[in-house]
């Protein structure tokens, strides 16, 4: 009987003992949540269809953010921090604030030059923090 | 004893002002402010860093009252109840008066919680020193059941998120036998020590917010006209007359809710507001611009600041997601928070108390007098701020381990994870607490079992352990009861 409440810890496999327990708990919880959701759906009879994205969501800004972020990481590896940041800050600003008015583009340009330069100077030079 | 000088005062003021800005801009939180500014603390020692970070914390929690009162949008989740009475007051033309009442209440709540922190942390830590691996394991389990208990009708999702966080923490090398687990073959080098805490934190709290805002078109709050009102009724400290018990009760609720792990400010202020309504002589006036409600909400959410530091500094368990980031700051400086923290680092402990005191007063002065200027903050367009946030996050994540680009990828990955969690309604705070405590949870579990030859009976063999079991049982019973109640009312 006491063996039931005993766990043998083998040195070579001990690294997987706890992850297996956690995965077991997660599986049980996932099934519980699944059943709850199924019940809820049945009760509501899917009267209002839930969508993953919000209604009328901004496709360009959402996927643009993801694409620019990935591009920004690669650009930092290839061109170093300051040039990559100036270019990508400009792109992020154009994406979020638009490029239809001249004034907006000028503001974007100022922000994209001033902020990375300031960050580069304060963090990289004054505080000596490692930058890409 | 403690460290204080002009530099400390200057960084504390900087922290408070930046915190207020973050708190005041809807969508940005105190947690985000801390996550972004953490890399700046590399350049300083822990004492100076603490002034900056605690300033950000106090300012960030307090700044949320500005948009809550003026435009009916809580700047941070903890100022939800501030909108109930603050906004009706602003509509009556008493915006400035409401802001000043809110700011003063914030100060009082903050000071109350500081007193609790000062009194409660050392005895709790002294008790925790006697804990063996068994009690340490159980206290983490208790922390996780409390998170579940407060997931309001969402218990299973709360626990699921917590354990998912634990699983994420297990990625990498297991120190006992130096074996790597849960790592795909192509990332063996990058993930040998698992995910770094800070890119995960910044991703979950800042980058996920960028994605959410991008989805919602980056609509900024364009506000026109004077928001502060025509000064029909001016602020006076007499507004607090008859509210003494209300302040003490609300601050106490905020502080003690803060002590429970994983409880955000919103839960604290909602509970305090409900109690104020229960005890009020004119409950029908609450929600229509009653000063009582405003005082309650603001003293409760600032009460949280000191409260959340109690479990962090005595047990090493963060009280909320913002204090979880403070763990990161301690780790950066190579200091372990836990039961031995105060005895081993009395100077840092005193600095924390002094810094919190100073930051609360700085918050008061930085908001009370330049209120006209501060209220303009909420008109800053989000579309201009988020690119700067992205830049700061990238710099922060990259600098954490002195230049590892994989950390920036981690930042993006967890930004997407946080965004996805919002979509499938998984709460982020339990996930984060699970992630922070996951490694310790495993260590204490294995250590307890090894000490007892593998017998699970060891978890029931110690008196303090059994007391914790009772607490675990109470929180599970409460969770089940509350979950059922919330499900019925929904």
Distances (CA, A) of B190 to B173, B187, B402, B440: 11, 5, 14, 22
A128 pLDDT more than 80: no
Is B390 in Cβ contact with A127 (below 8 Å)?
Answer: no
Distance from CA of A31 to the nearest CA of B (A): 10
Angstroms from A46 CA to nearest CA on chain B: 16
A97 closest CB neighbour out of B207, B384, B454: B384
pLDDT confidence band for A42 (50 / 70 / 90): confident
Kindly tell me if the per-residue pLDDT of B75 is higher than 80: no
Of B217, B399, B456, which has the smallest distance from its Cβ to A61's Cβ? B217
Where does residue A128 rank: exposed (0-12), middle (13-18), buried (19+ CB within 10 A)?
A: exposed
Chain A residues with beta carbon closer than 8 angstroms to that of B161: none
> A59-99, pLDDT tens digit by residue?
899 999 999 999 999 999 999 999 999 999 999 999 999 88
Does A61 reach chain B within 8 Å, measured CB to CB? yes
Contact B387 A112 (CB under 8 A): yes
Nearest Cα neighbor of A130 from B197, B394, B331, B34 is B394
Beta-carbon contacts of B10 under 8 Å, excluding residues fewer than 6 positions away, are: none
Cβ contact B93:B235 at 8 Å: no
On chain B, the residues whose CB falls within 8 A of the CB of A26 are: 160, 163-164, 167
Answer whether residue B222 shows pLDDT above 50: no
B181, B218, B391: residue with CB nearest A61: B218
Given a contact cutoff of 8 angstroms between Cβ atoms, the answer to whether B56 and B33 are in contact is yes
The percent of residues above 90 in pLDDT, for chain B, comes to 45
Q: B260 or B416: whose pLDDT is higher? A: B416
Scanning the structure block, which residue is given the tokens 């000043």? Answer: B100
Indicate whether B107 pLDDT > 90. Answer: yes
Contact list, A57 vs chain B (CB under 8 Å): 215-217
Identify all chain B residues contacting A17, using CB atoms and an 8 Å cutoff.
Answer: 446
Beta bridge partners, B179, equal B174
A5 and B456 in contact by Cβ < 8 A? Answer: yes
Closest residue by Cα to residue B382 from A102, A58, A113, A81: A58
Interface test with B, best of A15, A28, A82, A124 (most B CBs within 10 A): A15
A15 interfaces chain B, CB cutoff of 8 Å: yes
Question: Which is nearest to B345 in space by CA: B334, B357, B332?
Answer: B334
Mean pLDDT of chain B: 87
B215–A62 C-beta distance less than 8 A:
yes
- Residue A33 tokens read as 């949540």
| B36 φ, ψ (degrees, to nearest 5) | -75, -35
- CA of B218: which chain A residue's CA is closest? A96
All residues of chain B having their beta carbon less than 8 Å from the beta carbon of residue A11 are 176-177
Residue B227 corresponds to which tokens in the numbers above? 């928001």
Q: B12, exposed or middle or buried, with CB in 10 Å at 0-12, 13-18, 19+?
A: buried
- For residue A111, give the nearest of B167, B217, B384 by CB distance: B384
Does the pLDDT at position B264 exceed 70?
Answer: no
Tell me whether A101 touches chain B (CB under 8 Å): no
Closest-CA residue of A relative to B210 is A65
A58, two tokens: 């901004």
- Mean pLDDT calculated for residue range B428-437: 84
Looking at B64-150, list the stretches that DSSP marks H as alpha helix, in order from N- to C-terminal side: 65-70, 80-91, 95-129, 133-149
As beta bridge partners, residue B292 has none
- The DSSP code for B181 is E
Residue B333 predicted with pLDDT over 80? no
The mean per-residue pLDDT over the stretch B189-203 comes to 88
List the end-to-end C-alpha distance of chain B, in Å, as a whole number: 53
Taking an 8 Å cut-off on Cβ atoms, the answer to whether A131 and B166 are in contact is no
What DSSP state is assigned to residue B377? G
Confidence of residue B343 (pLDDT cuts 50, 70, 90): very high
**What is the reported pLDDT for B224?**
45
- The secondary structure of residue A54, as a DSSP letter, is P
Is the CB of B412 less than 8 angstroms away from the CB of A70? yes
pLDDT: which is higher, A64 or B333: A64
CB-CB under 8 Å, A127 with B42: yes
Q: Are A9 and B40 within 8 A, CB to CB?
A: no
Give chain A positions within 8 Å (CB) of B43: 126-129
Q: Determine, for residues B446 and A58 on separate chains, whether the beta-carbon distance falls below 8 Å.
A: no
Cα separation of the two ends of chain A: 60
For residue B457, which residues of chain A lie inside 8 Å, CB to CB?
Answer: 2, 5
Across the interface, do A33 and B156 touch by the CB < 8 Å criterion?
yes
Asked if residues B155 and B148 have their Cβ atoms less than 8 Å apart, the reply is yes
Q: Say whether residue A70 is in contact with chain B using an 8 A CB cutoff.
A: yes
Q: How far is it, in rounded angstroms, from Cα A41 to Cα A47?
A: 9
Calpha distance B335→B350 (Å, rounded): 15
Give the per-residue pLDDT at B284: 87
Contacts of A96 in chain B (CB under 8 A): 214, 218, 382-384, 386-387
Tokens 């209220």 correspond to: B375
**A-B interface: how many C-beta pairs under 8 angstroms?**
165
Tokens (6 digits) for A45: 């009879």
- pLDDT at position B430 is 83
Question: Is pLDDT at B13 greater than 90 in this prediction?
Answer: yes
Q: What angle do CA B335, B340, B341 make, to 5 degrees?
A: 45
Contact status, residue B170 vs residue B438, Cβ threshold 8 Å: yes
pLDDT band at A46 (very low <50, low <70, confident <90, very high): low
Residue in chain A closest to B434 (alpha carbons) equals A22
pLDDT band of residue B152 (cuts 50, 70, 90) is low
Q: Residue B192: which pLDDT band, with cuts at 50, 70 and 90?
A: very high
Q: Which residue has the tokens 């340009």?
A: A109
Kind and range of the H or E element at B265?
helix B265-279
In this predicted structure, the answer to whether residue B150 has a pLDDT above a threshold of 80 is no
Of the listed ranges A24-38, B111-125, B250-264, the one predicted with least confidence: B250-264
Distance CA B478, CA B480 (A): 6
**Lowest-confidence pick of A97-101, B147-151, B266-270, B293-297:** B147-151
What does the block give as tokens for B203?
């991703």
**What angle is formed at CA B1 by the lines to CA B361 and CA B340, rounded to 5 degrees?**
100
Mean pLDDT of B118-140: 91
Calculate how close chain A gets to B415, using CA atoms only, in Å: 10
Count CB neighbours of B375 within 10 A: 23
Q: For tokens 């009879």, name the residue.
A: A45
For residue B272, the Cα-to-chain-centroid distance in whole angstroms is 17
Q: CA B221, CA B242: separation in Å to the nearest integer?
A: 36
CA distance B73 to B63: 12
pLDDT of residue A102: 93
Q: What is the pLDDT of residues B16-42, one digit of tens each?
A: 999 998 888 877 788 888 888 887 787
CB contact (8 A) between residue A116 and residue B157 = no
Tokens of B185: 């073959």
Decide if A28 touches B, using CB distance below 8 A: no
Chain B CB within 8 Å of residue A123 CB: yes
């Amino acid at each position: 009987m006491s063996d039931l409440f005993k766990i043998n810890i083998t040195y070579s496999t001990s690294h997987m003992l706890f992850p297996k327990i956690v995965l077991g708990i997660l599986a049980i919880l996932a099934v519980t949540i699944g059943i709850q959701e199924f019940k809820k759906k049945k009760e509501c009879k899917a009267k209002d269809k839930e969508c993953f994205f919000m209604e009328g969501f901004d496709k360009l800004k959402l996927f643009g953010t993801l694409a620019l972020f990935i591009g920004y990481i690669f650009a930092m590896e290839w061109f170093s921090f300051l040039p990559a940041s100036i270019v990508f800050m400009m792109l992020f600003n154009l994406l979020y604030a638009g490029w239809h008015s001249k004034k907006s583009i000028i503001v974007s340009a100022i922000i994209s030059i001033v902020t990375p330069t300031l960050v580069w100077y304060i963090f990289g030079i004054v505080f000596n923090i490692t930058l890409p | 004893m403690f460290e204080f000088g002009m530099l400390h005062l200057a960084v504390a003021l900087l922290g408070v002002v930046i915190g207020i800005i973050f708190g005041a801009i809807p969508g940005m939180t105190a947690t985000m402010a801390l996550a972004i500014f953490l890399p700046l603390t590399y350049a300083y020692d822990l004492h100076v860093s603490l002034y900056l970070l605690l300033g950000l914390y106090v300012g960030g929690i307090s700044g949320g009252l500005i948009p809550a009162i003026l435009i009916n949008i809580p700047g941070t989740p903890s100022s939800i109840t501030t909108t109930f009475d603050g906004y009706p007051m602003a509509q009556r033309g008493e915006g400035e008066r409401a802001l000043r009442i809110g700011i003063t209440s914030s100060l009082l709540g903050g000071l109350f919680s500081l007193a609790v922190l000062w009194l409660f942390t050392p005895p709790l830590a002294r008790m925790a020193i006697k804990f063996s691996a068994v009690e340490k394991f159980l206290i983490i389990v208790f922390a996780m059941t409390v998170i579940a208990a407060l997931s309001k009708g969402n218990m299973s999702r709360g626990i699921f998120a917590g354990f998912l966080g634990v699983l994420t923490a297990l990625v990498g090398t297991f120190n006992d036998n130096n074996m790597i687990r849960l790592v795909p073959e192509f990332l063996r080098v990058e993930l040998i020590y698992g995910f770094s805490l800070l890119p995960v934190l910044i991703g979950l709290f800042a980058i996920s917010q960028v994605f959410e805002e991008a989805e919602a078109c980056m609509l900024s709050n364009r506000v026109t006209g004077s928001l502060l009102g025509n000064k029909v009724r001016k602020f006076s400290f007499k507004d607090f007359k008859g509210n003494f018990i209300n302040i003490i009760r609300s601050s106490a609720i905020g502080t003690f809710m803060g002590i429970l792990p994983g409880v955000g400010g919103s839960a604290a202020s909602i509970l305090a507001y409900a109690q104020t309504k229960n005890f009020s002589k004119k409950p029908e006036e609450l929600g229509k611009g009653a000063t009582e409600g405003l005082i309650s909400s603001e003293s409760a959410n600032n009460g949280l600041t000191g409260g959340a530091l109690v479990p962090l500094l005595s047990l090493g368990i963060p009280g909320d997601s913002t204090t979880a980031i403070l763990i990161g700051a301690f780790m950066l400086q190579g200091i372990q928070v836990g039961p031995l923290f105060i005895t081993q680092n009395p100077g840092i402990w005193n600095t924390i108390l002094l810094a919190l005191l100073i930051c609360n007063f700085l918050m008061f002065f930085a908001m009370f007098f330049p209120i006209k200027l501060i209220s303009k903050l909420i008109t800053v367009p989000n579309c201009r701020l988020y690119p700067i946030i992205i830049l700061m996050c990238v710099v922060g994540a990259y600098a954490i381990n002195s230049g590892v680009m994989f950390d920036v990828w981690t930042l993006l990955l967890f930004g997407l994870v946080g965004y996805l969690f919002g979509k499938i309604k998984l709460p982020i705070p339990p996930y984060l607490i699970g992630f922070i405590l996951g490694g310790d949870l495993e260590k204490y579990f294995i250590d307890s079992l090894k000490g007892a030859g593998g017998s699970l009976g060891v978890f029931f063999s110690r008196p303090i352990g059994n007391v914790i079991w009772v607490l675990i049982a109470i929180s599970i019973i409460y969770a089940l009861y509350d979950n059922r109640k919330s499900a019925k009312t929904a």
